[in-house]
Structure 1
Amino acid sequence: MIHEFKKIWKSYAIGLLWLMGIIWPLVGIHADGTLSFANAFTLWLYIAAASFVCLLLYVMNQSGSLKPVTTPLSAARSRVAATAGIVPTWFWILLALVLTGIFPVFTSRYAQDVAINVLIYICLGLGLNVVVGLAGMLDLGYIAFYGVGAYTYALLNIHFGMSFWLCLPIAAALAMIAGCLIGYPTLRMRGDYLAIVTLGFGEIVRLILNNWMSLTNGPNGILGVKPPSIIIPTFDGGFGFELFVLKKLHFLYYIALALAVVTIIAVRHLNYSRIGRAWESIREDETAAELMGVNTFLLKLLAYGMGALFAGLAGAFFCARMRFVSPESFTFLESAMVLSMVVLGGMGSIPGIILGAAALIVLPEVFREFELYRMLAFGMAMVVMMLFRPAGLIPAKRMGSRSEEREG
């Protein structure tokens, strides 16, 4: 036991020195381009103290010293889980809808803006979950369909004056068609080859948006896109109708919430359907699925198209909210961010992806006070979460357990 503890402390010291050597130059770089290590020692004291406390708690837990504390906590957690299991699922869904519904009433404009970002990325994460989490295809160019949806609304609204509500299904349909067109020649590949090809197609779409000046206005983007609007009855001087523009932030929040709810319901139905089970069989073993008579290519193409559809919906709303769209919003980093949400939350898990999207959008805002170090702190938090929860924050249930849950 003593030998094991010595190894732990030795590994801790080596790891701390390694981390210090890797990021030491970064802590001295300031926003104005100067290099100064005046405050670096204080920062390293905080890092060393925090890591030492974590290590000490780990060692105490391994030795059993924390049992008087952990045992009552485990018992309390079990009681809470048992109590939560008694409460029907519809109650939690209703509670979530009520809380999200009244959110704009008690929060600031900044909080509403962050919440809208979370809802947009929930739609994107759930769409990519169909491709990656259910069908098992690694897509590194998913954000291209987000761009197709955004530019569809921008072009139709600017050149033809079409409303947001009419453009929304058109954007989704065109994104799905784009997904099928891209997926048809590529989905016969597997593994890393598929990932590389999808990455290439994603960059091709971005370059087209960036260089087709006559259609997309290139890197300057498209400005002046109108926000969503509705027709309401008026009684001023007689009965009539008036166009009411939903430009206030809380109206946009409720539209984003409605899109997220629709996406959650649709993905859940796909997850529990026969198609969803076929997708999972392809994910687990594509060769075995083919031998069982599953048309793997057609189902993979369907998954790719459905994922693109949800991205198109999110893209159209993103354009309506920003009233501006440019190719800079659809880079590979955005695809990586959405993929991180799926992996972090739990591939195939709807609650996990919702939590993953919230974590990856909210955490950088929480760390904003760290200025230059916030992305470093954000990255360290990501590493810690993936070390302790490698299957995701809320791992997906296996097909058998999900079927039993559905039947129950």
Structure 2
Amino acid sequence: MSASQTSAAPKTARIDIKKSLVDTVLAGLIALIVFGPIVGIVLDGYSFKLEPVRLAWMIGAVMLGRLLLSLYLQTPAGSRIMDRFESSDSGISVLPPGYKTRLRWIVPLVILAAVIFPFFASKYLLTVIILGLIYVLLGLGLNIVVGLAGLLDLGYVAFYAIGAYGLALGYQYLGLGFWTVLPLAAIVAALAGALLGFPVLRMHGDYLAIVTLGFGEIIRLILNNWLSFTGGPNGMPVPSPTFFGLEFGRRAKEGGTPIHEFLGIDYNQNFKFLFIYVVLFLVVLLVLYIKHRLTRMPVGRAWEALREDEIACRAMGLNHVLVKLSAFMLGASTAGLAGVFFASYQGFVNPSSFTFFESALILAIVVLGGMGSTVGVVIAAFVLTVAPELLRSFADYRVLLFGILMVLMMIWRPRGLIRISRSGFAVRKGVAP
């Protein structure tokens, strides 16, 4: 047999039993730590009751699953699966000439499905999708700050609160409606982003995260403690949106006209949510288009240069102050828009909706979807917000499942669901440079 034939022969995978057993034991210990306080100890009246049998079954299931998975991944079929997740090219690949992305087919289908969806959706499903679209907006905004500019912002929920309370306060004290507050909230949130950006221009990494986290908590505490202005923990009511003065309720206010009477149709309680869904979907499309264009403009390249190496960015003559401020302001304005839609959707706002957990959830959307990846963030937003709403029977374990999902993603897809793609040049094989 020739050397070429020998090299072409398939290599037999050698299964390391010892490694599989070690992984199994570690998985069992982790399962004991995680499930022990939740499953193994049950509150029975005024005392705690141990459930060792149920805990043993769960730990055994985890260990068996880890053993089978470890053994399978060492087989040729498992190795091929691992190769899909792990690559030695650091995420760099050369596409063949004439390559066309599948998005040219997927995007029109998604838009068509979004147009047809309201005609068949129930009120509950419609509200769940609205919530998902709101988090898509939040994810896209934070993706600019964290994913593109590389600025770790842990207080992003503050801009979200500014938009939501902007609608409530604007209506109560100035009589402003949805359409007036929508652009104003984006502007005010952008100005707040600029105010936050100036003090943190020289900060990086952990220090930047601490300052932004403090900013988010300051906004929440102000909303919670300024009783005479924001209502404190009791919150504030938010008016329903209108469409050219037409109201979506069964009965309009004095001098107003319900939209169903104007159109001569029967009243439907979904009118308000249908309106919010349509406007929100159009705004999401607009933000997607703006982000798509900006990432291909000099400002988008400047964000990426700042993320990779700020010193090199400044050496190239780029104004790092303006680059950071533009990222903060654009991301904040997007959160302000999302806040207005959230307040209109909920009809009520209070500080408990804008805790640090919301900032962590939005950051998880960016990390899970892929830093800088637009499509990945859209998918992750629905995975992390819509799925828990549809699985309310597991409400007590939502945070646990959320943590497990993030750990698995960091192991299997450390670059996120969808890696960010960039255009470049490569020398074709067989062609002289």
TM-score (norm 2): 0.80
**Closer/same/farther in 2, CA of residues 396 and 366 from structure 1, 3 Å limit:** same
Q: Which amino acid aligns with 1:227?
A: S
The alpha carbon displacement at 1:273 in A equals 1.2
- Give, in whole Å, the separation in 2 of the partners of 1:29 and 1:270: 53
State yes or no: 1:314 paired with 2:338.
yes
State yes or no: 1:396 paired with 2:420.
yes
Tell me which of 118, 122, 127 is aligned to 2:141: 127
CA contact (8 A) 2:14 2:74 kept: no
Q: Which amino acid aligns with 1:104?
A: P
- Which stretch of structure 1 is more off in the superposition, 178-187 or 26-35? 26-35
The alpha carbon displacement at 1:15 in A equals 2.6
Tell me which of 10, 18, 28 is aligned to 1:6: 18
**Closer/same/farther in 2, CA of residues 184 and 371 from structure 1, 3 Å limit:** closer
Q: Which residue of 2 aligns with 1:229?
A: 242
The alpha carbon displacement at 1:35 in A equals 3.1
Tell me which of 210, 217, 220 is aligned to 1:203: 217
**Closer/same/farther in 2, CA of residues 108 and 58 from structure 1, 3 Å limit:** farther
Deviations 1:127-156 (A, max 9, x none): 001110111100010110111111111111
CA contact (8 A) 1:149 1:171 kept: yes
The alpha carbon displacement at 1:159 in A equals 2.2
State yes or no: 1:259 paired with 2:283.
yes
- Give, in whole Å, the separation in 2 of the partners of 1:343 and 1:362: 17
Deviations 1:57-107 (A, max 9, x none): 44134133669x97xx9xxxxxxx99xx65764432211101112222223
Tell me which of 120, 138, 162 is aligned to 1:148: 162
Q: Which residue of 1 aligns with 2:48?
A: 35
**Closer/same/farther in 2, CA of residues 320 and 267 from structure 1, 3 Å limit:** same
The alpha carbon displacement at 1:312 in A equals 0.5
Q: Which amino acid aligns with 1:244?
A: I
Q: Which residue of 2 aligns with 1:347?
A: 371
Q: Which amino acid aligns with 2:25?
A: A
Which has more radius of gyration?
A: 2
Q: Which amino acid aligns with 2:240?
A: P
- Give, in whole Å, the separation in 2 of the partners of 1:60 and 1:311: 44
- Which stretch of structure 1 is more off in the superposition, 6-15 or 387-396? 6-15
State yes or no: 1:186 paired with 2:200.
yes
CA contact (8 A) 2:27 2:62 kept: no
CA contact (8 A) 1:148 1:175 kept: yes
Q: Which amino acid aligns with 2:369?
A: G
Q: Identical aligned pairs, as a percentage?
A: 44
CA contact (8 A) 2:183 2:337 kept: yes
Q: Which amino acid aligns with 1:326?
A: N
CA RMSD of aligned residues (A): 3.0
**Closer/same/farther in 2, CA of residues 278 and 381 from structure 1, 3 Å limit:** same
Q: Which residue of 2 aligns with 1:405?
A: none
**Closer/same/farther in 2, CA of residues 37 and 319 from structure 1, 3 Å limit:** same
- Give, in whole Å, the separation in 1 of the partners of 2:209 and 2:54: 43
Counterpart secondary structure, 1:107: coil
Tell me which of 101, 122, 128 is aligned to 1:114: 128
The alpha carbon displacement at 1:218 in A equals 1.6
- Give, in whole Å, the separation in 1 of the partners of 2:410 and 2:315: 35
**Closer/same/farther in 2, CA of residues 21 and 328 from structure 1, 3 Å limit:** closer
Q: Which residue of 2 aligns with 1:62?
A: 74
Q: Which residue of 2 aligns with 1:289?
A: 313
Q: Which residue of 2 aligns with 1:244?
A: 259
Deviations 1:290-344 (A, max 9, x none): 0000001111011101100000000111111112111111111111110010011
The alpha carbon displacement at 1:393 in A equals 0.5
CA contact (8 A) 1:367 1:378 kept: no
**Closer/same/farther in 2, CA of residues 65 and 286 from structure 1, 3 Å limit:** closer
Q: Which residue of 2 aligns with 1:406?
A: none
- Give, in whole Å, the separation in 2 of the partners of 1:368 and 1:62: 37
- Give, in whole Å, the separation in 1 of the partners of 2:29 and 2:239: 54
TM-score (norm 1): 0.85
**Closer/same/farther in 2, CA of residues 370 and 154 from structure 1, 3 Å limit:** closer
CA contact (8 A) 2:23 2:66 kept: no
**Closer/same/farther in 2, CA of residues 373 and 152 from structure 1, 3 Å limit:** closer
State yes or no: 1:100 paired with 2:114.
yes
Q: Which residue of 2 aligns with 1:76?
A: none
Gaps of 5+ in 2: 1-12, 85-94, 247-255, 261-269, 426-433
The alpha carbon displacement at 1:398 in A equals 3.8
CA contact (8 A) 2:294 2:300 kept: yes
**Closer/same/farther in 2, CA of residues 295 and 206 from structure 1, 3 Å limit:** same
**Closer/same/farther in 2, CA of residues 319 and 6 from structure 1, 3 Å limit:** same
Instruction: Name the structure where helix makes up a greater proportion of residues.
Output: 1
State yes or no: 1:381 paired with 2:394.
no
CA contact (8 A) 1:367 1:377 kept: no
- Give, in whole Å, the separation in 2 of the partners of 1:337 and 1:261: 22
- Give, in whole Å, the separation in 2 of the partners of 1:324 and 1:65: 53
Counterpart secondary structure, 1:272: coil
